[in-house]
Structure 1
Amino acid sequence: MKALLFIEADGEKAIGGSLELISAVKSLDAEGTALIVGNRSVADNIAALGMPAIFIDSAADCDTLTEVLSEIIKEQNPDIVLLANTTLAKDIAPRVAGRMCLGCVIDVIGMSKNDDKIIYTRPAYGGTVLEHIEVEGTAVITVRNGSFAKPENASNAGVIEKKIEIPASAVKAKIIDTVKEISESVNLEEAQVVVAGGRGMGNAENFKLVEELADVLGGVVGATRPPIEDGWISRAHQVGQSGKIVAPKLYIACGISGATQHTSGMSGASYIVAINKDEDAPIFEIANVGIVGNVTEILPAMITEMKKAKEKIK
């Protein structure tokens, strides 16, 4: 079985979700090849992880990437094409699949082999159910961040440079300028620790406890929709269906009831701690540790103890 990985970069580094694709390929016992466009240093880093890499020095706009990926698929003829489930990938994947008459599954969180077939698992209906999908022929798949582990270093697999001529007529849209918002500095998807607050925090002053605990733990602040709508924190911090999908090692839910719209965005966390005064809150059903009590009393105690623990480590 052959797999083609599209590796997406952020500056000089491959994004975490793209790195996880290497582990995904290994879990399937597949033969993989990575495609990197526009950044040779990223290609070298991927090769150092034991994944043969193809490097193409080309523009990174959506139209060009669609052309490049389509040509490499024709050349490599893989059984599966993997991309991280990013905004860019969700533009490219259906275009490539439609152009080449391939199957396409978005937001996959698990893959397993059944004889010679691969079963793709993805959340549906806001994460309330999991559906298992089988695709005939080659499939273009986007994989949710946090679904697989980051790969370890391995023997260098080498980089092959290729050139692909992109006709000018293929580029329908060009990026003239990029305006960065504050959300660019809120990297929830890559965070190892997320401390999130919900309506149960009560007010903007209390919500600062969430921010303080996140700071002490070296984590990132998350939020449900109500705190954002009330202006306690910017929309860049929203986790859930209409926000960002996160999969940190530790997720602390403060004053969050656990509505599906929110939990569908954080259920991939490795360890979940929930604090809520309602012992019947749905969040406790998915939490590894549940603390029943007033969050405005519990958080100051947690912050104090975490600070003491950090001092001992020093």
Structure 2
Amino acid sequence: MNKADYRGVWVFAEQREGKIQKVALELLGKGRNIADKLGVKLTAVLLGDNTDAMAKELASHGADKVLVAENALLKDYTTDGYTKVICDLINERKPEILFIGASYIGRDLGPRIAARLATGLTADCTALDIDEETKDLLMTRPAFGGNLMATIVCGDHRPQMATVRPGVFERLEKDENAKCEIEKVSMNLKDSDIRTKVQEIVKLAKETVDIGEAQILVAGGRGVGNAENFKQLKDLAEAFGGEVAGSRAAVEAGWIDKDVQVGQTGKTVRPKVYIACGISGAIQHLAGMQDSDYIVAINKDADAAIMKVADLGIVGDLNKVIPEMISQLKAVAK
């Protein structure tokens, strides 16, 4: 393999039911930065059916080019169909980098593509950069249970592949006038290429909050004490017009749902305000919230790790501090 034959940065533009997923737009934002450092084009790769509106959205969020594979067989995600089409395109056009969102779909698709192309894949990256000397992609992710950060290089194989969790990077501002080439590609895809068929899409009956979209989050950890005390956090979140989240310890204790867990094994968030209540600040948790605009920490321990990243640290019993905050907010609202 001649690495010089590979050029360009690709982003897999995940869509579900005709809607571009936010992680794809976030990856275009970071992809733009990486492509500019390398002096190459940024390409979004879109698979689906009736794709025109989705392609235009990608064009307005930083892509130089959108490659569109449009086929009724690609309307819904299948491992076989998407892997074949993307691998065929990569073998034909030879990008040097491919980014995929670490969603349920991306975590299934990424390893399959990497295995078929005999290249490397770094999963759940939290940082991406370019080595100034070698021009290799530097892929950083938590390792050893989050106790250290490992930077991984795929020096001998192409394309270099990484999956990135939603919420890690910021999307670019939408530009309706951006110049972007949209190319619909031909493909050799038959019904027999797809061994599994989507019969029906069933969504969860329960309503879940997407904490990744929340502007204000009130998160609780082991220091909250019990599920009953989490009611205070919900009251505080309601007073702020925000949502409630939790640490892994709170989830494992059964005090709050896994869907709103923040951290390395949960979700990555970047709200305008993050209020950490009874959270010690282990690196696994910090990895999921340290890019919040403004961090408030409430903790009895003035030396807790969370205090080092907090913009405002309140040392005290959260059972006394939170009711006082709610009282002050209500007074201001009047």
TM-score by length of structure 2 reads: 0.82
Aligned pairs for 1:8-47 (under 5 A) are: 8-28=14-34, 29=36, 30-38=40-48, 39-47=51-59
Alignment match, 2:183: 160
Equivalent pairs counted in the alignment come to 311
Task: Give identity over the alignment, percent.
Answer: 37
Question: Quick one: structure 1 residues 250 and 182, their matched pair in 2 at CA, closer, same or farther if it must change by over 3 Å?
Answer: farther
| CA–CA distance in structure 1, aligned partners of residues 8 and 315 of structure 2 | 49
Q: CA deviation at 1:35?
A: 1.1
String of CA shifts for 1:87-120, please: whole Å, max 9, x gaps: 2111111110110112211122222222322222
Q: Is 1:100 the counterpart of 2:114 in the alignment?
A: no
| CA–CA distance in structure 2, aligned partners of residues 182 and 202 of structure 1 | 30
| Residue number among 68, 85, 91 corresponding to 2:85 in the alignment | 68
Matched to 2:44, the amino acid is A
| CA–CA distance in structure 2, aligned partners of residues 3 and 129 of structure 1 | 28
- With 161-170 and 21-30 compared, the bigger mean Cα shift is at 161-170
- With 148-157 and 181-190 compared, the bigger mean Cα shift is at 181-190
Q: Gaps (5+ residues) in structure 1?
A: none
Question: Quick one: structure 1 residues 203 and 2, their matched pair in 2 at CA, closer, same or farther if it must change by over 3 Å?
Answer: same
Alignment match, 1:55: 68
Aligned pairs for 1:104-123 (under 5 A) are: 104-113=121-130, 114-115=132-133, 116-123=135-142
Question: Quick one: structure 1 residues 127 and 92, their matched pair in 2 at CA, closer, same or farther if it must change by over 3 Å?
Answer: same
Aligned pairs for 1:1-314 (under 5 A) are: 1-28=7-34, 29=36, 30-38=40-48, 39-51=51-63, 52-57=65-70, 58-59=74-75, 60-113=77-130, 114-115=132-133, 116-136=135-155, 137-154=158-175, 155-181=178-204, 185-307=208-330, 311=333
Q: In 2, are the aligned partners of 1:44 and 1:158 still within 8 Å (CA)?
A: no
- With 63-72 and 186-195 compared, the bigger mean Cα shift is at 186-195
| CA–CA distance in structure 2, aligned partners of residues 271 and 292 of structure 1 | 17
Question: Quick one: structure 1 residues 183 and 274, their matched pair in 2 at CA, closer, same or farther if it must change by over 3 Å?
Answer: farther
Question: Quick one: structure 1 residues 185 and 127, their matched pair in 2 at CA, closer, same or farther if it must change by over 3 Å?
Answer: same
String of CA shifts for 1:125-149, please: whole Å, max 9, x gaps: 2322111222123211112333332
Q: CA deviation at 1:169?
A: 4.2
Q: In 2, are the aligned partners of 1:25 and 1:31 still within 8 Å (CA)?
A: no
**Secondary structure class of the residue paired with 1:205:** coil
Question: Quick one: structure 1 residues 176 and 33, their matched pair in 2 at CA, closer, same or farther if it must change by over 3 Å?
Answer: same
| CA–CA distance in structure 1, aligned partners of residues 242 and 298 of structure 2 | 17
RMSD: 2.5
Question: Quick one: structure 1 residues 54 and 230, their matched pair in 2 at CA, closer, same or farther if it must change by over 3 Å?
Answer: same
| CA–CA distance in structure 2, aligned partners of residues 9 and 305 of structure 1 | 44
- With 150-159 and 264-273 compared, the bigger mean Cα shift is at 264-273
| CA–CA distance in structure 2, aligned partners of residues 164 and 132 of structure 1 | 36
TM-score by length of structure 1 reads: 0.87
- With 233-242 and 46-55 compared, the bigger mean Cα shift is at 233-242
